[in-house]
Amino acid sequence: MYRKHKKQNEEDINTCDCKYNANDPESACVESCLNVLTSTKCTPGYCPCSIYCKNQRFHKYEYTKLKLFKTEGRGWGVLADESIKAGQFIIKYCGEVISWKEVKRRSQAYENQGLKDAFVISFNGHESIDAAKKGSLARFINHSCQPNCETRKLTVLGEIRVGIFSKQDIPVGAELAYDYNFEWYDGAKVHCLCSAAGCSEFMGAKSRGFQH
């Protein structure tokens, strides 16, 4: 069972004080925006930059172009299908929001079903996102011990969400990867095949609840 979106109260909406400059349309809600600085997405209809706001890509599903490909030994993986700038929002990690209790129950059920891939990402002390059955392309992004991407928590319409962001400039055709450490439930059982220098051998070996 997963929960529905909470309805955001109007008084809880954080409005920035950016001003849209018609001579520089690319500057609407970028680095200096109060909401960007506090990892909060501007709420449609409440941003002073209205349709020009650059801080609403998350809930408008404006994702970076990506491509699925078959890796050797790591199942499916995801490639950049356009060049990506450092710090760019790439894609939302979508799935079912479930409690830790449910994570434990499902992990056992998935193991019994022989499902070895881990799709559960933890985003606060008591809830996680399970993308095993449904989700965006983000669910196919593999782990690397020397990643070019990272997960970031954001406040979107009053709720915590998880997005994948680039850590560096990424050229077209490069595989996207982030470090599963601290995020994945039960990942320590899987040998890492990321082939990065200094690879830690197991995925998520340091994560909460993991045991060697």
Task: Write out the residues near ligand SAM by the rule CB under 6 A.
Answer: 74-77, 116-119, 139-140, 142-143, 190, 192-194, 203
CB of 138 to ligand SAM, least distance (A): 8
Closer to ligand SAM by CB, 6 or 116: give it: 116
Distance CA 80, CA 131 (A): 20
Token duo for residue 83: 């060049």
Closer to ligand SAM by CB, 40 or 181: give it: 181
User: What are the φ and ψ backbone dihedral angles of 67, each rounded to 5 degrees?
Assistant: -135, 135
Token duo for residue 27: 């500057």
149: Cβ contacts below 8 Å, ≥ 6 apart: 90, 141, 164, 165, 166, 167, 170, 176, 177, 178
CB of 59 to ligand SAM, least distance (A): 23
CB of 28 to ligand SAM, least distance (A): 34
Closer to ligand SAM by CB, 54 or 74: give it: 74
Residue facing ligand SAM at closest CB distance: 75
